């Protein structure tokens, strides 16, 4: 199982360092989670690349359609609510995290805690990895007990 923050999810749609590792994870058939925040973050990145002329109009549409398809049919999307954000206040109190980074990490921690209630996860047969490239966020995630997947580490 894999939770992706938006910076790692973007590597699915834009060719950049670490994209191959992300594509491999999508092809593996494992369950891939993200939060509803990624919807705004990926669309913002897409718009930014289009306005900077890094994407032509037809490529913009192709990438947007690919993302929306994944959003609807491939990704498991976590809503942001009191439960998924419960860890956020403590995270930002003790660690120098940006707001959206803390929200993604809080959601991943909630997902891990919910999974611990399932027999396969509790037995160690299933592991949740947190996909992130930001070093600070990766250190905090590790300190919180999450295994980190950094697609740039193998690129």
Domain ranges within the chain, ordered by starting residue = 2-149
Q: Does the pLDDT value for residue 59 go beyond 80?
A: yes
Q: Does the pLDDT value for residue 123 go beyond 70?
A: no
Q: Does the pLDDT value for residue 82 go beyond 80?
A: yes
Distance from C-alpha of 113 to C-alpha of 138, rounded to nearest angstrom: 18
Q: Report the CATH number of the 2-149 domain.
A: 3.40.50.1010
Q: Does the pLDDT value for residue 124 go beyond 90?
A: no
Q: Does the pLDDT value for residue 21 go beyond 90?
A: yes
What whole-number percentage of the chain has pLDDT above 90?
90
What residues form DSSP beta bridges with 77? 34
Please, which pLDDT band fits residue 127 given cuts at 50, 70 and 90? confident
Question: What's the predicted TM-score (pTM) here?
Answer: 0.93
The residue whose two tokens read 């403590």 is: 90
């Amino acid at each position: 199982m894999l939770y992706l923050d938006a910076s790692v999810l973007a590597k699915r749609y834009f060719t950049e360092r670490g994209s191959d590792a992300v594509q491999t994870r999508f092809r593996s058939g494992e369950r891939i989670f993200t939060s509803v925040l990624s919807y705004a973050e990926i669309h913002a990145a897409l718009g930014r690349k289009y306005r900077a002329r890094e994407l032509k109009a037809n490529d913009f549409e192709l990438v947007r359609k690919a993302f929306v398809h994944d959003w609807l049919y491939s990704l498991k999307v976590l809503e942001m609510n009191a439960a998924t954000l419960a860890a956020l206040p403590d995270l930002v109190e003790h660690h120098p995290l940006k707001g959206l980074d803390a929200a993604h990490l809080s959601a991943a921690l909630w997902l891990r805690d919910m999974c611990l209630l399932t027999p396969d996860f509790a037995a160690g047969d299933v592991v949740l990895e947190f996909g992130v490239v930001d070093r600070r966020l990766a250190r905090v995630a590790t300190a919180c007990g999450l295994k980190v997947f950094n697609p740039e580490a193998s690129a």
